[in-house]
Amino acid sequence: MKQRWSRWGLTAGALAISAAAFAQTPQTPPTPEMISFACAGCHGTNGGSAGLLMPSLASQSKVSIVDAMKKFQSGERASSIMGRLAKGFTETDFEAMGEFFSKQKFHATNQKLDKALVKKGAALQEANCSRCHLDDGKDGKDDTPVMASQWLPYLQIQMDMYLSGERKMPEKMAEKVKPLSKAELEALLHFYASVK
Amino acid sequence: MTLDRRNFIKLLGGASGLAIAGQAAAQAKAGSAAVSAGSAAEIMPKGSARRVIVIGGGYGGTIAAKYLRMLDKSIEVVLIERNKEFVSCPFSNFYIAGLMPDMKALTIKYDKLTANHGIKVLHAEVTAIDAAAKMVVTSQGRLAYDRLIVSPGIDFMTDGIEGYDAKTPEIFPHAWKAGPQSALLRKQLQAMKDGGTVVIGVPLMPFRCPPGPYERACLISSYLKKHKPKSKLIMLDANPDVVSKKGLFTKAWNSYYKDIFQYVGGQVTKVDTKARIVVADNFDEYEVAVANVIPPQRAGNIAVVAGLTDDKKRWCPVDAISFESTILKDIHVLGDATLLPSDGGAMPKSGYSANSQAKVCAINIVALMNDKPTTELSAINACYSAVSETESVSVSHVFKLVNGKIKITATAVSPIDFSLGKIEKAYGESWLKNVLTEMST
CATH of the domain at A75: 1.10.760.10
How far is B432 from B411, CA to CA, in rounded Å? 21
Q: Among A106, A137, A163, identify where a domain stops.
A: A106
What are the chain A neighbours of B3 within 8 Å (beta carbons)? 1, 5
Return the closest-CA partner of residue A152 out of A105, A196, A194: A194
pLDDT given for residue B283 in this prediction: 83
β-bridge partners, B136: B129, B143
Q: What pLDDT was estimated at residue B279?
A: 97
pLDDT at position B336, please? 98
Question: Rounded to the nearest 5°, which phi and psi values hold at B246?
Answer: -55, -50
Residue B387 domain flag: no
pLDDT tens readout for residues A102-149: 999 999 999 999 999 999 999 999 999 999 999 999 998 888 999 999
Claim to verify: residue A77 and residue A116 sit in the same structural domain:
no
Residues B173 and B259 in one domain: yes
Is the residue at B400 inside a domain? no
Report yes or no on B365 lying in a domain.
yes
CB B127 within 8 A of CB B40: no
Measure the CA–CA gap between B208 and B351, rounded to whole angstroms: 9
| Length of chain B, in residues | 441
Q: Which positions in chain B touch A11 (Cβ < 8 Å)?
A: 21-22, 25-26
- Closest by CA to B395, choosing from B90, B169, B10, B71, is B90
A57 with A129, same domain?
no
Among residues A58, A76, A106, the one where a domain terminates is A106
Within a 13 Å sphere around the CA of B75, how many CA atoms are in the beta-carbon half? 28
Whether residue A85 is found in the same domain as residue A155? no
For residues B131 and B269, membership in a common domain is answered with no
Question: A133 and A158 share a domain?
Answer: yes
Q: Are residues B320 and B260 in the same domain?
A: no
Note whether A43 and A57 are within 8 A (CB): yes
Measure in Å the smallest separation between the Cα of B184 and chain A Cα atoms.
Answer: 29
Q: Mark whether B237 and B316 lie in a shared domain.
A: no
Instruction: Tell me whether residue B370 is in a domain.
Output: yes
Contact B135, B18 (CB under 8 A): yes
Count other Cβ atoms within 10 Å, centred on residue B4. Answer: 11
List the B392-402 sheet strands across, edge first: B342-343, B405-413, B392-402, B378-386
B291 and B307 both lie in a single domain: no
pLDDT of residue A25: 66
pLDDT of residue A24: 54
d(CA A80, CA A83): 7
Contact partners, residue B109, CB within 8 Å, separation at least 6: B84, B85, B86, B440
The runs of H, that is alpha helices, within B245-382 are 246-256, 301-305, 351-369
Q: Contact A80/B424, CB-based, under 8 Å?
A: yes
Question: The CATH number of the domain where B243 resides is what?
Answer: 3.50.50.60
Residue A138 lies in a domain: yes
Q: Is the domain of B244 the same as that of B308?
A: no
Does the residue B31 lie in any domain? yes
CB contact under 8 A, A12 and B377: no
Number of domains forming the structure of chain A? 2
Rounded to a whole number of angstroms, the distance from the CA of B89 to the nearest CA of chain A is: 15
Give me the DSSP letters along B34-51: PPPTT-SPB-S---SSEE
B278 and B207 housed in the same domain: yes
**Cβ proximity of B271 and B244 under 8 Å:** no
Question: Which residues 326-355 of B have a C-beta within 8 angstroms of A?
Answer: 326-329, 352, 355
Interface test with B, best of A80, A92, A94, A167 (most B CBs within 10 A): A80
- Domain co-membership, A118 together with A143: yes
Q: Is B193 exposed, middle or buried (0-12, 13-18, 19+ CB in 10 A)?
A: exposed
Give residue B193's domain range: 168-297
One domain, residues A98 and A160: no
- Could you tell me if residue A137 is inside a domain? yes
Q: Where a domain ends, among A85, A106, A127?
A: A106
What part of B 229-288 touches A (C-beta under 8 Å)? none
My answer on whether A84 and A56 are in the same domain is: yes
Could you give the CA distance from residue B347 to residue B408 in angstroms, rounded to a whole number?
A: 8
Chain A hits for B373, CB-CB cut-off 8 Å, are 25-28
Three-state SS sequence of A115-128: HHHHHHHHHHHHHH
Helix axes A115-124, A182-194, angle to 10 degrees: 100
Q: Which of B277, B297, B317 is the last residue of a domain?
A: B297
Domain end residue (candidates: B264, B297, B330): B297
Range of the domain at A184: 108-196
What is the structure's pLDDT at A2? 38
**Predicted-complex ipTM score:** 0.91
Separation CA A121–CA B244 (nearest Å)? 46
Does B69 reside within a domain? yes
pLDDT tens across A11-55, in order?
444 444 444 444 556 899 999 999 999 999 999 999 999 999 999
Residue A74 domain flag = yes
Judgement on whether residues B142 and B206 belong to the same structural domain of the protein = no
Instruction: Specify if B34 maps to a domain.
Output: yes
Instruction: For chain B, list residues with pLDDT below 70.
Output: 1-39
In this structure, the answer to whether residues B13 and B144 fall within a common structural domain is yes
Residue B350's pLDDT is what?
98
Q: Work out how many domains chain B is built from and give that number.
A: 2
Which of B1, B427, B433 is facing A1, going by the closest CB pair? B1
Which residues of chain A have a CB within 8 Å of the CB of B21?
11-12, 14-15
**Is there a domain that residue B435 lies in?**
no
B397 touches chain A (CB under 8 A): yes
Which of A15, A40, A93 is closest, CB to CB, to B328?
Answer: A15
